[in-house]
Structure 1
């Protein structure tokens, strides 16, 4: 009996030792298991590194005359009302849409939708984010020098997944737009540093962005008409990529879009709070950290006030480059859903300086067929 008591005591002490010392002896194994399921992300303080410039990245900054030796004269020019215009080229083939931003002298940005004759090396339309990470790390933080000042910005998680930024060793950049459903590359925007900073597609963390200058050679009304036409073309291009039905362009819907934009911009305090007005004004300033969009509740109140119906709506400011903004929308899950409905719908688009409204309505059976011509 005495020996059994001693044996029990020894077993009890050994059990306590195993329980309390287990974390010490098995700590390494536990940590290894945890990190294998949750890989450590790249440090958020790491600044970006460049990759070798190739393909269209080498055309950024070159004279427009040199670019047009390869692409011919533009088939259409759109004026933006700012210190650049948009020129469209499609001589290579019908599968690829190409446009540039230019001040008339040099190429400041090139936007490409679809695969075709132009060299997108090292990228390719339809590539996945995983394939992109085989080429380069996707960096969250960028610090750039502009006129002896540092301007820094940070890509959020959604940006890194759908709109990553790649830097080239010739000082140019590319924003890659991935489809939010298939996660495949569907468009690219190559651009110089100044254009990138002016557009400010990612939240600023340091410094102030340079601003676009208003053009004195075109009226705001005419610039708005040009941008409305360009926007319709780009939205249709992106819907074609997704094999969706063409929108109908309807005069009544267009008028209602313009009425909504006028009502909001001229009576802004009637529709949003003073805090939201401050957010709107900051979005237009050099301190911009994000674009301004009307919320669902704000849209519902505005539509009810104007007695207008809609299946989808967008208000965004600032929109300086319609193509860049629309490509961003189609890579944003929330925004893309508004422009990806199946079935017949009609669309109206309105601009007032840097403010843009898109109004999508249900297509009635008796509505006349689209009167919009393919003008790309």
Structure 2
């Protein structure tokens, strides 16, 4: 009876959210989908703040998430050696296990050998108290969804706020052992597609929820010399996750294609060159107003590698480059994302946005190219026709 009474108000709240809160939707797949970064997202609906005296219920953990905080040897005892170890930019490595939608998971291992993250995709894995494929109505009977969290970490306090979209499609669940899980729901089925178990530091660094505290987030120290290796690993992770989810829904898997990846990289380069040329013109105009002796312009201008930050790619710019390369838009789809999160988050997050899910589940698309620039990722998919990118 207690479970039923607790579930009723949550069910009514979610029904109201479903009918009253605008969602990001599309009637069909766009040829080019560009995604705004966190600061430019559709304005978040302010979740109703919990009373200061309201105590969040933390539930017990019994499955694979119990390995968070444990030495990696514990995972090795249970699952053996990983298929590979992927570097990240977040101070830990991903140990990759499994190959498909039944057994795939990743374990984040810090430099001191402790488990900080576990990404679960495989339906056969014990992710208790949850499971892959679990319907959202079943989740309501286990726990409540909370819109705000106060997290104490290293003598500081951070406040996380979840939007209505967060609550609907990637809610945060607290556990009794001071760890967390992010449940990733499929937009179409309202079932759990993936689960991310993580500790406090990893949750704050992932940056997927709004942090309202003034306290600085724990810094992520990027090492530029590992970018190339990280990008290669991210390509493998995204491809495996997307194909595992296509396999789950009985859609033919995608084939990785180097030509499409090169085209995606060319789009990044195309924008960089345009910005460099624009900067060079502006630099020359400014220099013409100064005395030659004071001018620092050596006549070489500014090349694209000197521009550290780039504006977001636009649909117009992507389309312009594809037309220049005579790429058939009718057979090609593009998804662009710029989020300060890792590839496991991005690949599962895309399935919570309707038009992106439709694109990624299109059974007519056969090939995929994946390119990165900083936190940006650009996917190009096509039908592998005679007129496709070669």
Structure 1 residue aligned with 2:335: 314
- After TM superposition, the score normalised by the length of structure 2 is 0.71
Comparing both chains, which one has the higher relative contact order based on Cα–Cα distances under 8 Å and sequence gaps of 6 or more?
Answer: 2
CA distance in 2, matches of 1:65, 1:38: 41
Structure 2 residue aligned with 1:357: 378
The within-5 A match list for 1:41-190 is 43-46=48-51, 48-90=56-98, 95-104=102-111, 105-116=113-124, 118-190=125-197
Structure 2 residue aligned with 1:275: none
Going from structure 1 to structure 2, the CA distance change for 1:363 and 1:139 (only over 3 Å counts) comes to same
Q: What SS does the corresponding residue of 1:206 show, helix, strand or coil? A: coil
CA distance in 1, matches of 2:266, 2:189: 36
Q: What SS does the corresponding residue of 1:219 show, helix, strand or coil? A: helix
In the alignment, which of 327, 345, 351 is matched to residue 366 of structure 2?
A: 345
**Residue 233 (structure 1) aligned with residue 254 (structure 2):** no
Q: Are the aligned partners of 2:107 and 2:115 in contact in 1 as well (CA < 8 Å)? A: yes
The within-5 A match list for 1:291-330 is 294=313, 296-297=315-316, 299-301=318-320, 303-304=322-323, 308-310=327-329, 311-330=332-351
The within-5 A match list for 1:32-43 is 43=48
Shift of 1:112: 0.9
In the alignment, which of 197, 205, 215 is matched to residue 212 of structure 2?
A: 205
Cα deviation per residue 1:262-317 (whole Å; 9 max; x = unaligned)? Answer: 3335655899xxxxxxxxxxxx99xxxxxx97554554455446654553222223
Between stretches 40-49 and 171-180, larger displacement belongs to 40-49
CA distance in 2, matches of 1:73, 1:345: 32
Going from structure 1 to structure 2, the CA distance change for 1:43 and 1:73 (only over 3 Å counts) comes to same
CA distance in 1, matches of 2:340, 2:386: 33
Residue ranges of structure 1 left out of the alignment (5+ in a row) = 1-35, 272-283, 286-291, 369-376
Aligned CA RMSD, in angstroms, stands at 3.3
CA distance in 2, matches of 1:158, 1:80: 27
Q: What SS does the corresponding residue of 1:166 show, helix, strand or coil? A: strand
CA distance in 2, matches of 1:123, 1:252: 40
- After TM superposition, the score normalised by the length of structure 1 is 0.73
CA distance in 2, matches of 1:103, 1:79: 11
CA distance in 1, matches of 2:86, 2:13: 50
The number of equivalent residue pairs is 313
Going from structure 1 to structure 2, the CA distance change for 1:337 and 1:210 (only over 3 Å counts) comes to farther
CA distance in 2, matches of 1:45, 1:269: 49
